[in-house]
Amino acid sequence: MPAHGAAGFQVETGATRRADPPAPDMTLARAGEFARQFDVQTLDPERLTQMREARDRNIYLFDVRTPEDYAAGHVPGALNAPGGQLVQAMDEYVGARNAVVVLTDPLMLRVVMTASWLAQIAQCEVYVLDPAPDATETAAPDIAGLDLPDVQTLSARDLAAELAGPGAPHVLDLSTSVQYRPGHIPGALWMVRGREAALRAELSDAAGTAPVVLYGPDKAILRLAAPEIAASLGAEVRLLDGSVDAWQAEGQPLETGMQRPVGPIDDVWYKPYELADAGAEKQAALDYLDWEIDLTEKVARDTVAFRPLHPAG
């Protein structure tokens, strides 16, 4: 079925086209000019190391390129946060206000643009890493400082065998409801971390204390939730190695829908295109446009300070 915009015109979906990258010399020159115009601050690697060793600030190091560019090689210790998403959904990446946010990108232009917008939002202390160290890392780094507990894992093949046998484990999906709805392990309950009491009530009729298997896209969340759920239920808790992707790779089927939520489905604000009902989708899109039109007046009433920047001249 073709997709249509709010005005009824057909829209394109699933496009994968990308613009050709600009010439490096031109990009660096334009980035330098833009950085001077908008007073973008830089931070050298030695100073970043000193700030991290002091351990008195929340420091985030982000690579603002696409996931594909990031996976091909990035500065060691950097997490991927594409620039546009970082600006529009900063709360999904930065957990503390007034944190130090350091951005990196070998071509510089994207990182300077992102830094200028974050500076205008004025909710963090933002820098561009310059000169950036060599991009020698390809895997996402472990999250430092959380002291995450070790949790036993099992393979998708072993999980399938256990689910088919006696004493099958309870399976919990700790992804977002948006991720759970289109495809999850059949029979898995969906849960948000922190709802252990609701989970106990959900499983109160289950015989004994069956083991529990957790899976989801965020390994840190899983490793934090595992001991909490184990203590609450008095059950063994393990993690599925590879999450739902490993389950599919074994040729196992997925289930769709929100049949087994633990607690209310209120973990995210649904975007208009994530709604199943076409009428609700169109109305949500129109409501969003109304919200955008009124946004200037709402920002004027906001108690949070913004620092708009203006180019020289």
Q: Does any domain span residue 33?
A: yes
**Given pLDDT bands bounded at 50, 70 and 90, which one contains residue 150?**
confident
How far is 86 from 118, CA to CA, in rounded Å? 9
pTM, 2 dp: 0.69
The rounded distance, in Å, linking the Cα atoms of 267 and 239 is 22
Residues 172 and 125 reside in one and the same domain: no
Kindly tell me if the per-residue pLDDT of 246 is higher than 90.
Answer: yes
Residues 6+ apart with CB under 8 A from 9: none
Domain boundary among 229, 249, 269: 249
Q: How many distinct structural domains can be found in the chain?
A: 2
Answer whether residue 11 is part of any domain.
no
| Whether residue 116 sits in one domain with residue 31 | yes
Are residue 36 and residue 97 in the same domain, yes or no?
A: yes
Q: What is the pLDDT of residue 310?
A: 59
What's residue 313's pLDDT? 42
Domain that holds residue 179: 153-249
pLDDT at 195 > cutoff 80: yes
Q: Are residues 89 and 171 in the same domain?
A: no
Tell me what pLDDT residue 205 has.
65
Residue 311 lies in a domain: no
End-to-end CA distance of the chain: 50
41 lies in a domain? yes
pLDDT score for 273: 63
**Integer Cα distance of 231 and 237 in angstroms:** 10
Does any domain span residue 86? yes
Tell me the pLDDT tens digit for each residue of 14-60: 888 888 877 777 788 888 888 888 889 999 999 999 999 998 999 99
Q: Are residues 90 and 178 in the same domain?
A: no
Asked whether residue 83 is assigned to any structural domain, the reply reads yes
Q: The CATH number of the domain where 171 resides is what?
A: 3.40.250.10
Confirm whether 92 is domain-assigned: yes
Same domain, 124 and 158: no
Per-residue pLDDT band at 109 (split at 50, 70, 90): confident
pLDDT bracket for residue 1 (50, 70, 90): very low
* Helix 24-37 with 109-121: angle, nearest 10 deg: 20
Average pLDDT, rounded, for the chain: 86
Neighbour tally for 164: CB within 10 Å: 8
pLDDT average, residue stretch 225-233: 94
Task: Say whether both 31 and 125 belong to one domain.
Answer: yes
pLDDT of residue 287: 84
The span from the CA of 306 to the CA of 74, in Å, is: 31
Quote the pLDDT of residue 209.
73
Q: What confidence category does residue 286 fall into, taking pLDDT thresholds of 50, 70 and 90?
A: confident
| Choice between 141 and 134, residue whose per-residue pLDDT is larger | 134
pLDDT value of position 49: 94
Higher-pLDDT residue of 14, 152: 152
- Do 183 and 215 fall into the same domain? yes
Domain shared by 74 and 110, yes or no: yes
Residue 137 lies in a domain: no
Which is more confidently placed, 281 or 308?
281
Q: Are residues 107 and 163 in the same domain?
A: no
Mean pLDDT over 155-175 rounds to 95
Q: Are 114 and 158 in the same domain? A: no
Strand partners, 212: 170, 237
Closest CA to 262 of 185, 135, 182, 177: 177
Mean pLDDT, residues 158-171 taken together: 94
User: Residue 207 above 60 pLDDT?
Assistant: no
Q: Lowest-pLDDT range, 10-24, 49-63, 194-208, 298-312?
A: 298-312
What sign has the CA pseudo-torsion 207, 212, 217, 223?
positive
Q: Are residues 125 and 161 in the same domain?
A: no
Query: What letters, b where the CB count within 10 A reaches 16 and e where it falls short, cover 195-207?
Result: bbeebeebbeeee
Measured between alpha carbons, how far is 303 from 9 in angstroms, rounded to an integer?
39
